[in-house]
Amino acid sequence: MNINTEHLRSLLGSEEAAQKFVNLFRQQLPGQLQALRQAFAEGDWETASNTAHGLKSQCRYLGLDDAADLLQGLENNPKLKHDLAFLNKLLSA
């Protein structure tokens, strides 16, 4: 995962705040991806869309544009079959 904190630093005002965001993102990411997988498995399209939206925003802040683009597709149409393995690959450390 190639994180770019430049945009985040400009929003938060410091490198320290940006690193705290990155650390929190890394801690919460596995649970968010699991929630997304579970929502798809259960056909819970509203939860899938909401989870994708939250992850998409975080990825945009971190310059993870490929992952954010994929998540945008999930958010807009969660009923389509999407490649969650590809998303996991994009977001793996």
pLDDT in tens, 34-86: 898 898 889 898 998 999 999 999 999 999 998 898 889 888 887 765 666 66
Q: Is residue 70 part of a domain?
A: yes
Establish if 87 belongs to a structural domain.
yes
> Residue 68 falls within a domain, yes or no?
yes
- On whether the pTM is more than 0.75, the answer is yes
Question: Which pLDDT does position 93 carry in this prediction?
Answer: 44
Determine the structural domain holding residue 79 and report its residue range: 6-91
19 in any annotated domain = yes
The CATH number given to whatever domain includes residue 80 is: 1.20.120
Question: Structurally, how many domains does the chain consist of?
Answer: 1
Q: Tell me whether residue 69 is in a domain.
A: yes
Contacts 24+ apart (CB under 8 A), 11-19: 11/61
Residue 1 covered by a domain: no
pLDDT at position 90 is 64
